[in-house]
């Protein structure tokens, strides 16, 4: 006999600010680890377990260390990295070079949001790599980057009126101002180095 199954759509988890979670744990008697690892551990088991996913999540929450071990085994030893995609972390990376941002963004298991060089006019902040300091080229590096940054701002100031003049129909609508300024910033950024802080 066919068993009628009611459809369930459950919110399994969502991003919550880490500091809020830490504060809540410190202010309460809640001793359990608050971690997204339990979600990925539950979803890792769904293909081979007769239990429902909400029951698997409950099991993982009850035994966090076991869930961690399971995740390590499944992701790193068995190579099923898609399981890790169920755990979501938001990480602020501040004061680093464009080069490092490009390197970080190569990895598949993440989504990225960074300061847009189209919408933000960058100031003169940049990163000096340790290697350049160690070989005694800091002064030359700083003067070169400073020249590039000065030229970037000069380019933007000259490109902005050019872009508005070239796109008169768009420029007539004040709602397009930010977009047109963004085009000028985007072209000006060709002059800035990968050492630019983002």
Domain boundary among 55, 86, 117: 86
Rounded to whole angstroms, the Cα distance separating 37 from 70 reads: 10
Angle (CA) 101-103-106 rounded to 5° is 110
| 33, 103: one domain | no
| 46, 120: one domain | no
For residues 87 and 111, the answer to whether their CB atoms sit within 8 Å is: no
Residues 6+ apart with CB under 8 A from 180: 160, 163, 164, 167, 170, 171
Q: What is the mean pLDDT of residues 140-156?
A: 94
In DSSP notation, 91-119 reads ----S-BHHHHHHHTT-TT-------TTT
Number of domains in the chain: 2
| 124, 51: one domain | no
Confidence of residue 57 (pLDDT cuts 50, 70, 90): confident
Confidence of residue 11 (pLDDT cuts 50, 70, 90): low
Structure confidence at residue 12 (pLDDT): 63
Structure confidence at residue 3 (pLDDT): 42
| 124, 45: one domain | no
Domain assignment present for residue 4? The answer is no
| 26, 56: one domain | yes
Domain assignment present for residue 149? The answer is yes
| 168, 102: one domain | yes
> Range of 29's domain?
18-86
Q: Is 70 exceeded by the pLDDT of residue 5?
A: no
| 187, 108: one domain | yes
| 104, 184: one domain | yes
Most confident region among 32-36, 100-104, 128-132 by mean pLDDT? 128-132
Q: What is the mean pLDDT of residues 56-71?
A: 85
Q: Is 50 exceeded by the pLDDT of residue 6?
A: yes
Domain assignment present for residue 1? The answer is no
Confidence of residue 143 (pLDDT cuts 50, 70, 90): very high
Q: Which residues pair with 196 in a beta bridge?
A: 126
Most confident region among 65-69, 88-92, 149-153 by mean pLDDT? 149-153
| 79, 102: one domain | no
Q: Give the tens place of pLDDT for each residue, 85-119.
A: 776 777 777 788 888 888 888 876 566 566 667 77
């Amino acid at each position: 006999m066919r068993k009628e199954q009611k459809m369930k759509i459950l919110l399994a988890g969502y991003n919550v600010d880490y500091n809020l979670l830490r504060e809540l744990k410190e202010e309460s008697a809640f001793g359990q680890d608050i971690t997204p690892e339990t979600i990925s551990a539950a979803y890792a088991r769904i293909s081979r377990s007769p239990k429902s996913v909400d029951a698997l999540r409950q099991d993982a929450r009850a035994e966090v260390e076991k869930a961690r071990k399971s995740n390590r085994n499944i992701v790193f030893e068995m190579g099923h990295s898609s399981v890790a995609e169920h755990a979501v972390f938001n990480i602020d990376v501040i004061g680093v070079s464009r080069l490092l941002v490009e390197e970080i963004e190569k990895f598949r298991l993440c989504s990225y949001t960074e300061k847009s060089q189209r919408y933000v006019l960058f100031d003169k902040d940049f990163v000096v790599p340790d290697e350049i300091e160690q070989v005694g080229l800091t002064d030359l590096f700083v003067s070169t980057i400073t020249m590039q940054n000065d030229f970037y701002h000069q380019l933007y100031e000259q490109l902005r009126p050019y872009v508005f003049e070239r796109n008169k129909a768009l420029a007539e609508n004040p709602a397009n101002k930010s977009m047109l300024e963004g085009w000028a910033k985007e072209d000006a950024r060709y002059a800035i180095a990968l050492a630019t802080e983002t």
